[in-house]
Amino acid sequence: MAATRLDLVFLWHMHQPDYRDHASGTFVMPWTYLHAIKDYTDMAAHLERHPGIHAVVNFVPVLLDQIDDYIGQFASGEFRDPLLQLLAKDDLDALSPVERKFLLESCFRCNHATMLAPFPRYRRLHELHESLTREGEAALAYLSGAYLADLVTWYHLVWTGETERRRAPLLADLIAKGEGYSLADRQALLAYIGTTLADLVPRYRALQARGQIELSATPACHPLAPLLLDFQAARESLPLAPLPLATLYPGGRERVHRHVVAAQESHARRFGAPPTGLWPAEGALSTVLVQQLAAAGCRWTASGENVLQNSLGTAQPRAAHHPWQLAAAPDLTLFFRDDQLSDLIGFEYSKWHGRDAAAHFVAQLEAIAAAAPAGQVPLVSVILDGENAWEYYPYNGYYFFDDLYELLETRPALHTRTYASVLADKDRAPPRQLPRLTAGSWVYGTLATWIGEPAKNHAWDLLCAAKRSYDQVMASGRLTAAQVAAAEAQLAICESSDWFWWFGDYNPAQAVVSFDRLFRRNLANLYHGLQLVPPVQLDMPISTGRADQATVDAGGTMRRAGGQGAQLT
C-alpha cells in the first residue's frame, strides 16, 4: 500500500551581498532595496493570502543589515544610494553628465520580457533611448529632464511587487498616469518605498508569530564556510581541483564561528530567539562544518541532493526524501533539496501557464507519495532563492503562487511543513544514518563555483594575505576597540561567497568587472582600517571576464544550477 501522506518543506532563501562601500557609506548597487520592494514583499503577501501554507523563510543577516540601512536613509531623507538620490532630485534637467549616464545605464536593467514589454509607456522610453543610441552618444544629450523623470519613475514602478500594485492606490495611479511625472509624484513614490521597507520584517515576524513560517538564517555575511575551514574540501568531490597558493585560510575555524554566532545574535535581536537551523551559504557543507554547526546549537541544516548522492557513493533516487544524520554530528539533522522539483520552479515553470505549472508540481508530489513504501512518509524539500526567479514569471509569479498554494491547501495528503515542526513530530521515523559526508554545495554538488580556476584562486590568495595582515595588526594591540570592531566587520564582508562566484570566464563580463572592483575595494578598505597601505595588486583587476549573453536576460540576471542567482550591475 502506498503512502497516504507527503510532507513538503519550502525553504525560500533571501540573500543579497553587501553592496556598500563602507569607506564612503555609498551603495554601489541598488539590488537590495529593489528586491525588497518587489520580491520579499510579494513572497510575504503570497503567504498572507494563503494561511494554510507553511514554509521556512531564510534571511541572511547581511541582507537585513542593508534593509535597516535603507530604512534609516528614508527616515533621515539623506540617501546614500545613487539611484534613490536621483529619484529624489528636484531638477533632473540639472544633472551632471556622469549622473545622466548613470541614470540611462541603470534604468533599463530588468527582465525586458516581463518588466518592460507589458508597459507601453516604459517600452516607449526604451525605444527612444535605443533609437538615439544608434545615432551616437551625443544624441542622448537631447533627452530632457522630463524624459529622465519618467524613466526613473517607471524603473521603480516596474520593480514593485504585483501584490503591491493590486493593493496600493498610489502605484495604480502612477502606472495609469504613464508620463509627465512631477516631483510630487516622485516624492510620493519615495515615501511608499520607505514605508514598504519599514513594514517588511514586521510582516515576516507576524507570519512567524502565527506559526505559519519558521524563520532561519545563514552565517552572517554568507561565507563559503567549508573553504574557510579547509581548501582541501574542494577535492572531496573533485580530487584534481587546482587550489590557491595559500595552503589554508588563516584562522578559518574561528572566522566561521564568528559568522555563525553573529547570525544567531542578529536573528535573536530581530525575531525574538536564535534560529533553530541554519541554511549554509550556497548549501555548502563539509563534515567539519556540520560538527561546528552542531556545537553551536543548530538543530538542522540542509544542502543539495547531489551532495547526498556523492556522500552515499551510489545513486539512490529517493534518498533526499528523508531526513539524515551524520555519525560525526548526531545532534543535528540534515535535509537535502529535491533538485528536480526545485529547479522546475527556479527555471522552467516561468514558461508555463501558472495553473498548468501548479498542477504539474502537485502531480509530481502525488507521484512521489504513491511510490513510497507503505508506512513511510516522504519528506520533500524544495529550496531556492526567494527573489531571483520571479522576474522571469509573468506578473512576478503572482498567478503561479496563487494557483500553487491554493492547490496545496486543497490536497489533504500534502502537508506543507517547517523543519522545526518536522523535528518536533514524534510520529515520523527517525533520520537515516549517513556514514560520511562528501563536501559540496547545491551547485552540482561540488565547490568548483568558488575555487579551482585561476581568478578564483587568486582572489582567495588576496584574501588570505589580507587576513594574515589582519591577524598581525590584531596581535599588536595598536587599534582602539572601535577600530577593531570596524576591521572585523570589514573582514567579514570580504569573506562573502559572492565575490568568488563571479570570477570566471563563463560569467558576463559586466558583472565580473563590477564584482571584481567591489571585492578589491573591500579588501583595500580592510587594509585602510588596519592602518596599512593596500598592496598594489588591489589596483589590478583579478579577472576580465567574458560576456555570455546566451545565459543572461536583458535585465542582467544570471541564474545558476541549484536555483541560485545574482544580479548584474
- pLDDT, tens only, 100-136: 999 999 999 999 999 999 999 999 999 999 999 999 8
Residue 530 lies in a domain: no
Residue 448 lies in a domain: no
User: What percentage of the chain reaches a pLDDT higher than 70?
Assistant: 95
Residue 328 lies in a domain: yes
Over residues 490-516, the mean pLDDT reads 90
| Closest-CA residue to 284 (of 448, 447, 97) | 447
DSSP string, 146-202: HHHHHHHHHHHHHTS-HHHHHH-HHHHHHHHH-S---HHHHHHHHHHHHHHHHHHHH
| Closest-CA residue to 223 (of 271, 255, 176, 191) | 255
Give how many domains the chain has, as a whole number.
Answer: 1
Evaluate if residue 560 carries a pLDDT over 60.
Answer: no
SS3 content of the chain, % helix, strand, coil (to 5): 55, 10, 35
CA 101 from centre of chain: 28
CA 302 from centre of chain: 16
DSSP 8-state class, residue 93:
G
For position 293, what pLDDT does the model report? 98
Q: 425 in helix, strand or coil?
A: coil
| Closest-CA residue to 330 (of 233, 226, 218, 431) | 431
* CA–CA distance, 339 with 370 (Å, rounded to integer): 19
- pLDDT, tens only, 509-523: 888 899 999 999 999
556/487: higher pLDDT: 487
How many other C-beta atoms lie within 10 A of the C-beta of residue 48? Answer: 14
| Closest-CA residue to 44 (of 167, 137, 150) | 167
* Contact criterion met (CB below 8 Å) for 293 and 260: yes
Residue 402 lies in a domain: yes
* CA–CA distance, 569 with 504 (Å, rounded to integer): 16
Confidence of residue 363 (pLDDT cuts 50, 70, 90): very high
* Contact criterion met (CB below 8 Å) for 129 and 115: no
What is the residue type of 211?
A: G
Q: Grid coordinates standing for 3? A: 503512502
SS (H, E, C) 259-306: HHHHHHHHHHHHHCCCCCEECCHHHCECHHHHHHHHHCCCCEEEECHH
* Contact criterion met (CB below 8 Å) for 415 and 318: no
Over residues 91-98, the mean pLDDT reads 96
Output the CA torsion 261→223→61→474 (10° steps).
60
Confidence of residue 217 (pLDDT cuts 50, 70, 90): very high
Residue 264 lies in a domain: yes
554/366: higher pLDDT: 366
Q: Grid coordinates standing for 113? A: 520580457
CA angle at 13 for the pair 434 and 263, rounded to the nearest 5°: 80
Q: 130 in helix, strand or coil?
A: helix
Confidence of residue 564 (pLDDT cuts 50, 70, 90): very low
* CA–CA distance, 242 with 14 (Å, rounded to integer): 31
- pLDDT, tens only, 286-321: 999 999 999 999 999 999 999 999 999 988 989 999
Q: Domain of 26: which CATH number?
A: 3.20.110.10
DSSP string, 456-473: HHHHHHHHHHHHHHHHHH
Q: Grid coordinates standing for 250? A: 588563516
Over residues 208-229, the mean pLDDT reads 98
Residue 380 lies in a domain: yes
Please give the mean pLDDT across all residues of the chain: 94
* CA–CA distance, 394 with 327 (Å, rounded to integer): 45
Evaluate if residue 479 carries a pLDDT over 90.
Answer: yes
What is the residue type of 190?
A: L
Residue 45 lies in a domain: yes
Residue 12: domain span: 1-221+254-440
* Contact criterion met (CB below 8 Å) for 18 and 63: no
Residue 557 lies in a domain: no
For position 139, what pLDDT does the model report? 93
Residue 335 is inside which H or E element, if any? Answer: strand 329-336
For position 544, what pLDDT does the model report? 58
How many other C-beta atoms lie within 10 A of the C-beta of residue 299? Answer: 16
Over residues 31-49, the mean pLDDT reads 98
- pLDDT, tens only, 530-551: 999 999 999 999 985 333 333 3
Confidence of residue 3 (pLDDT cuts 50, 70, 90): low
